[in-house]
Amino acid sequence: MGETALIIANILSLIGNVLATTSALLKSKKTILSFQSTNHVLEIIAQLLTQAYSGMVQEVISLIRNVIFIFVKTTKKLPKLIISVLCLIAGVTTGVLFNIFLSGNVLYGYLPVAGAAVYTVFVILAFLLEIGERKAELLLKIGLLVNVICWCASGYFIKLYPVLIFNAVSIVLLILSLVRIFLSAKKARAAQTAPTDEPTEPSSPTEEKSENEAD
């Protein structure tokens, strides 16, 4: 891989990651998905230029999923669940095959596949299980943490430094967020188990007199 291709790949990856980060500040779901989809397009090209084919496949799968969610107007859970499961199967299968036959079966080629798979599984579990909002948030963030760790390591090996840097920042933010969730849950449990203070009965005049005499 030439130096020019690597420079172009890093520039495209930088632009894409900036767009993905900016999407977190937006409110419109369609605009958020559009920003993220543009990031996926740029990352597809960047991963292709660095010959990271398994990572490229994960970006393609994510792009397809976003496009479907943008244009399929439904609030029902089942279609979204089916799409997520199909994306999981397609991402793992094609990612493994591309890494074996196109990337020479390098170990770091499995990192994006593993990260995307773990995160998708956690999303599906949070989607299906009736575990409450706080536990669902915890589940999603743990899955996302595994995902960004895998992508961070992948960025290092393929020399896509924006992927490395932005995911490293995400790791720190997610760890802080998880600590906040655990501390909040611990505080809530402590409040529930703390004994209630019972009001003390006022002393009788005789008791007060005895105490004064003792002094």
Cα distance between residue 72 and residue 30, in whole Å: 11
pLDDT in tens, 27-54: 787 788 889 999 999 999 999 999 999 9
Asked whether the predicted pLDDT for residue 73 surpasses 90, the reply is: no
Asked if the structure places residue 24 within a domain, the reply is yes
Q: Give the structural domain span for 33.
A: 3-191
113-133 confidence digits (pLDDT tens): 999 999 999 988 888 887 788
- Is residue 203, in this structure, part of any structural domain at all? no
Query: Lowest-confidence range among 2-6, 147-151, 161-165, 201-205?
Result: 201-205
- CA angle 154–158–163, rounded 5-degree value: 55
Mean pLDDT rounded to a whole number for the chain? 86
Q: Is residue 96 part of a domain?
A: yes
Q: Is the pLDDT of residue 209 over 70?
A: no
Flag whether 89 is in a domain: yes
Q: Exposure of 1 by Cβ count < 10 A (0-12 exposed, 13-18 middle, 19+ buried)?
A: exposed
CA distances from 80 to 65, 73, 167 (A): 9, 11, 26
> How far separated are the first and last CA of the chain, in Å rounded?
91
Cβ-in-10-Å burial (0-12, 13-18, 19+) of 42 comes to buried
Domain count, the chain: 1
Q: Is there a domain that residue 202 lies in?
A: no
CA distance 117 to 88: 6
For residue 169, is it within any domain?
yes
d(CA 171, CA 67): 27
Is 35 among the domain residues? Answer: yes
65 confidence band (pLDDT: 50, 70, 90):
confident
Classify residue 210: in a domain, yes or no.
no
Under 8 Å CB-to-CB from 150, ≥6 apart: which residues? 111, 112, 114, 115, 116, 118
